Amino acid sequence: MGNFAQLVILGLLAGGVYVAVGVGFGLVWGVLNIVNLSHGALVIVGAYITWQLFTAFHLDPFLTLPVDALILFALGYAIQRGVINRVIRAPLLFTFLLTFGINLIVINVLLLLFKSDFRSVTPSYSGSGIELGPVVVSYTRLAALAVAILLAAGLAFVLNRTRTGLAIQAVGADRDAAQLVGIDLRHTYALTFAIGAACAGVAGGLISLIQAVTPTAGEPYTLQAFVVVILGGLGRVSATVLGGLLFGLIEVFAQSIPGSGSVYANAIAFGLLVLVLVVRPQGLIGRLR
């Protein structure tokens, strides 16, 4: 039983990262109807900013998170306003390919700037942790989970309680009607993508504390963000939080299966994904659109 509790705790901690990666991806998908294949690359940009600030100025990694968010916000705004807005009415595959192209550019520019060496962010407290029953939980992992939940809560607040957030939701619900009531489509689209990118930046900062970072380290996160968002359901921040935590739990439990459970982590995740899609396409608590 102790083992079970241990797995639950580890799963929830792993889920924190997925929540952080998933909320921005889910926002962009839900509102813009774009599956952003460059999301993982943007996450890694955030990770490199944290790494750079940490190694050059010895800033505490958690203090760099707002910087990650700001820079990625600006980058995201520029990408959407300058590029993606131009094909937003084209068929689905074109936005897929466009964001894949952006992904290719971002990853390879990172390769030029930082080479493919492994970079890790190790503040003085990275090795220590607290005992929670049978498991030792590292402070960084715990803080990462907390930041991820705060990020999701902040995003939900912005979306549901501010004029900007309501405008974003209106655009997501009906583009033409939103334009009729005077919402600036170009700006709102760019803002949505910028917020999604800012979330990716924060997620990247957290990830730099947890794993070694390379320019290509973000690719699995794009796929996992898919799974997380679909698992929870599109169109709600809380659904993504649920999906992320659940995905962390599933991953940890799958890896604990004796024998070769760990090598099937992707297969189990995607098998589950296909099952959810077929049985309950709106996700666990999502809204069908």
CA dihedral 212, 267, 142, 126 (to 10 degrees): -20
By CB under 8 A, is residue 186 in contact with other proteins? yes
What residue has token string 């300058």? 82
Nearer Cβ to other proteins, position 148 or 227? 227
Instruction: Give the helix ranges, DSSP H, for the chain.
Output: 2-32, 39-57, 65-82, 92-114, 139-161, 163-173, 175-180, 185-210, 219-232, 237-256, 265-279
Phi, psi of 131 (to 5 degrees): -85, 125
Backbone φ/ψ region at 236: left (φ over 0), alpha (ψ -120 to 50), beta: beta
Phi, psi of 182 (to 5 degrees): 100, 15
By CB under 8 A, is residue 87 in contact with other proteins? yes
Taking Cα atoms as reference points, which of 124, 142, 123 lies closest to residue 132? 142
By CB under 8 A, is residue 86 in contact with other proteins? yes
By CB under 8 A, is residue 180 in contact with other proteins? no
Residue 234 CA: distances (Å) to CA of 180, 201, 249: 25, 21, 20
Q: How far is the CB of 147 from other proteins (least distance, A)?
A: 27
Q: How far is 151 from 27, CA to CA, in rounded Å?
A: 13
By CB under 8 A, is residue 133 in contact with other proteins? no
Question: Which of 13, 28, 42, 98 forms a contact with other proteins (CB under 8 A)?
Answer: 98
Q: How far is 83 from 29, CA to CA, in rounded Å?
A: 16
Q: How far is 243 from 167, CA to CA, in rounded Å?
A: 25
- Pick out residues in 204-223 that bind other proteins (CB under 8 A): 219, 223
Question: Which of 227, 231, 239, 241 forms a contact with other proteins (CB under 8 A)?
Answer: 227
Question: Which of 27, 35, 148, 151 forms a contact with other proteins (CB under 8 A)?
Answer: 35
Nearer Cβ to other proteins, position 64 or 99? 99
By CB under 8 A, is residue 111 in contact with other proteins? yes
Count the site residues for other proteins by CB under 8 A: 50
By CB under 8 A, is residue 289 in contact with other proteins? no
Nearer Cβ to other proteins, position 96 or 253? 96
Is residue 197 classed as helix, strand or coil in its secondary structure? helix
Q: How far is the CB of 159 from other proteins (least distance, A)?
A: 20
- Pick out residues in 259-288 that bind other proteins (CB under 8 A): 260, 263-264, 266-267, 269-271, 273-274, 277-278, 281
By CB under 8 A, is residue 112 in contact with other proteins? yes
By CB under 8 A, is residue 226 in contact with other proteins? yes
Q: How far is 196 from 31, CA to CA, in rounded Å?
A: 10
**Residue numbers at the binding site for other proteins (CB under 8 A):** 29, 33, 35, 83, 85-94, 96-98, 100-105, 107-109, 111-112, 175, 185-186, 189, 219, 223, 226-227, 230, 260, 263-264, 266-267, 269-271, 273-274, 277-278, 281
